[in-house]
A and B are shown apart, each in its own frame.
Chain A
């Protein structure tokens, strides 16, 4: 079974530029998550989708971050414009169970390491 795919793996941009990350979850997984992992910290949930609907985006900085999952499969996360403090690893995860199931484990992609100069 193929895992969660993410691209690019690394990205270096200057502040105020825009960047987009792509995620392809495991086939058939209904729930998709985007996390931000700053060095030395645990992952922080940015947004959670079930199929193509947003379940939770309470911690997404909506003035600069946006995400979509148009056909309920692939997802993109965009930052526009980027700030220095956005430097982090952005992790995508998926889960086969619906978002309302509390005990579902997540399957993570390798992440995209963003450096903002």
Chain B
């Protein structure tokens, strides 16, 4: 069965420091991996995705993510955190279901808090 795990409910980081939000996945076939961010009272916003090719994917707002096939991970990173990055981050995998459709499976989310 397909699944996504975000092992940390919350990550705290000081402004200006690098941040990492962890994600591991399980999927049959090729993984299509995504990161979304959710600000209070707003819907999810797409940050970046991995389809194939380069393991380091760059996305919006200076975020990047590293795909590691052997560790089945897709960690979100940013070299220098901003207070405005404080939000809820969701990792998602899109895999093929037995019925032949592609379905998004979201993780439970990690709350990032950047401290000034």
| B is a partner of A | yes
What is the interface of chain A, defined by CB distance below 8 A to chain B? Answer: 4, 33, 40-45, 48, 55-56, 58, 91, 93, 99-103, 105-111
Interface string of B45-85 (1 = CB under 8 A from A): 11001010000000000000000000000000000000000
Do residues A108 and B99 form an inter-chain contact, with CB atoms below 8 A?
Answer: no
How many chain B residues sit at the interface, stated as a range, is: 20 to 34
List 7 other contacts, CB 8 Å, given A93-B44, A108-B45, A111-B42. Answer: A42-B107, A42-B108, A44-B106, A58-B97, A99-B101, A99-B102, A105-B34
Distance, CA A91 to CA B43, complexed state (A) = 7
B45, B51, B101 interface centre (most CB from chain A within 10 Å): B101
**CB of B25 within 8 Å of the partner chain:** no
Distance, CA A109 to CA B45, complexed state (A) = 9
Which residue of chain B lies nearest to A4 when distances are taken between CB atoms in the complex? B43
Distance, CA A58 to CA B42, complexed state (A) = 26
What is the interface of chain B, defined by CB distance below 8 A to chain A? Answer: 4, 30, 32, 34, 36, 41-46, 49, 51, 90, 92, 94-97, 99, 101-104, 106-109
A41, A91, A105 interface centre (most CB from chain B within 10 Å): A105
Distance, CA A23 to CA B113, complexed state (A) = 31
Do residues B99 and A111 form an inter-chain contact, with CB atoms below 8 A?
Answer: no
12 residue pairs of the A-B complex, CB under 8 angstroms, read A42-B4, A42-B92, A42-B106, A42-B107, A43-B44, A43-B90, A44-B106, A58-B97, A58-B99, A105-B34, A108-B45, A110-B42
